[in-house]
Chain A
Amino acid sequence: MENFFKKVFNELQGSKKILTAVLTDIESEEISENLLGEMFLFDEEGIIEFSSDELENELERFFLNADLKNQILAVGEEKNTDSQLKEINLDSDNKLEFFLEPVVDQPHLIVFGAGHIAEPLVKICSLLDFSITVVDDREEFLNFDRFPTADQLLLLPYSDYFASAKIGDNDYLVIVTRGHQHDYQVLKNVINSEAPYIGMIGSSRKIKTVYDQLQDDGISEEKLAEVHAPIGLDIGSETPAEIAVAIAAQIVAVRRDR
């Protein structure tokens, strides 16, 4: 399967939309259970690659019926980028279920803290093609009622988040936790990451407190100077929504190399 994933990666370098299909369920006497988890890569024009010859053979056997193929390929033409389960009735005795999803190279916004700034920020950034994760350990703030456009909500202490997550060069980080001790903890974990954007909210007094602590930990002044704090472009924001606009604008500027 290794070569299959390399092929997907190479195809992703192009600009067209590509999708993968994973075989997630088989209801059939004829088709081997061993094919579960096998995949194929496709775009709106057709299938590009299979992860196994066996899957290819089985599908070709049934795909002589062009309707079935069209059912899957139609998903490639859809505008929305959400994933979906697709049941395919090969014939009356054979049914397959595929999980279809686009392969995406979206920038990823991670918001630490689910408070009153995060709420408008997530709304705005979901219009800017970011996939969005919000992390907080407070159940009453972190839910899809408040963040209907978030892709992922993680209810965890920040320390648990960093135990398993690795920040990469496609991650944009906004630190808006409920207190400077949490801001300090998050910033300490991400300051040496490859994140192209790290912004932290706070008054200049709070920012100084956090920076002093980090300098005591051996973080250099140059590193701290890369952090966007106070956060956001200076547009005279007053309300949470206005602050969110300023932060979003700053993130766009960094993403577009301004």
Chain B
Amino acid sequence: MRKEILEKIISLKKENIKLARAFIVQAKSSSPRNTGTEMLITENGDTFGSIGGGKDEKTVIEKSLDLIKSGKSKKIKLTLTRKEAAEIGWVCGGQIDIFIQIIS
């Protein structure tokens, strides 16, 4: 977890904003460096940081908004095709597991 994210969480919670932290917990691709990459999503749909952009990030944001409403954290799996993987800068396709942590 990066200090900037930590500071952002503290300042958002001070304003009583509901939010989720989404981070990559496992990536079955040639590069493990993405693990731990994180972003914040607020109940208003504002985001801070990025887990790579593109279509998958949109999916993660939408899923996070649902989970914020239900108040439950969850691990989700995304399967990337080769092309989709290339779009977020990965060498080959594969599965990534993202944990969406609700910060109550």
Distance between Cα atoms of A144 and B99 in the complex (Å): 23
Q: How many residues of B contact A (CB 8 A)?
A: 43
Chain A residues near B101: list those with CB within 8 A. Answer: 22, 37
Q: Per-residue 0/1 for B38-52: is the Cβ within 8 Å of any A Cβ (1 yes, 0 no)?
A: 000000000111101
Are A82 and B50 neighbours in the complex by a CB distance under 8 Å?
Answer: no
Q: A249 to nearest B CB, angstroms?
A: 25
- A152 nearest CB neighbor, chain B only: B37
Are A36 and B1 neighbours in the complex by a CB distance under 8 Å?
Answer: no
Are A1 and B3 neighbours in the complex by a CB distance under 8 Å?
Answer: no
Are B6 and A139 neighbours in the complex by a CB distance under 8 Å?
Answer: no
Evaluate whether A9 and B36 lie within 8 angstroms (CB atoms) in the complex, with A22-B99, A104-B1, A143-B89 already known.
Answer: no
Identify A166's interface contact among B6, B25, B37, B48, CB under 8 A.
B48
Are B89 and A99 neighbours in the complex by a CB distance under 8 Å?
Answer: no
Q: A229 to nearest B CB, angstroms?
A: 26
Instruction: Kindly identify, within residues 17 to 34 of chain B, every residue whose CB is under 8 Å from any CB belonging to chain A.
Output: 23, 25-26, 30-34
Most buried by B among A145, A154, A160, A168: A154
Chain A residues near B33: list those with CB within 8 A. Answer: 144, 148-152
Say what secondary structure dominates the interface of chain B.
mixed
Distance between Cα atoms of A152 and B75 in the complex (Å): 21
Distance between Cα atoms of A46 and B31 in the complex (Å): 31
Identify B23's interface contact among A1, A99, A144, A160, CB under 8 A.
A99
- B13 nearest CB neighbor, chain A only: A2
Distance between Cα atoms of A83 and B2 in the complex (Å): 12
A-B contact count (CB 8 A): 120
Interface size of A as a range: 35 or more
Are B25 and A24 neighbours in the complex by a CB distance under 8 Å?
Answer: yes
Tell me, yes or no, whether A12 is within 8 Å of chain B by CB: yes
- B7 nearest CB neighbor, chain A only: A9
Chain A residues near B37: list those with CB within 8 A. Answer: 151-152
Distance between Cα atoms of A182 and B104 in the complex (Å): 40
Evaluate whether A143 and B10 lie within 8 angstroms (CB atoms) in the complex, with A85-B25, A154-B50 already known.
Answer: no
Tell me, yes or no, whether B91 is within 8 Å of chain A by CB: yes
Distance between Cα atoms of A226 and B73 in the complex (Å): 44
Q: B29 to nearest A CB, angstroms?
A: 8
Residue ranges of B at the interface with A (Cβ–Cβ < 8 Å): 1-4, 6-7, 9-10, 13-14, 23, 25-26, 30-37, 47-50, 52-54, 72-75, 86-91, 99, 101-104
Residue ranges of A at the interface with B (Cβ–Cβ < 8 Å): 1-2, 5-6, 8-9, 12, 20, 22, 24-25, 33-34, 36-37, 82-85, 99, 101-106, 108, 131, 139, 142-145, 148-156, 160-161, 164-166, 168, 170
User: What are 12 of the A-B contact pairs (CB < 8 Å)?
Assistant: A1-B103, A2-B14, A5-B6, A24-B25, A82-B32, A102-B1, A104-B1, A142-B89, A144-B30, A154-B88, A164-B47, A164-B50
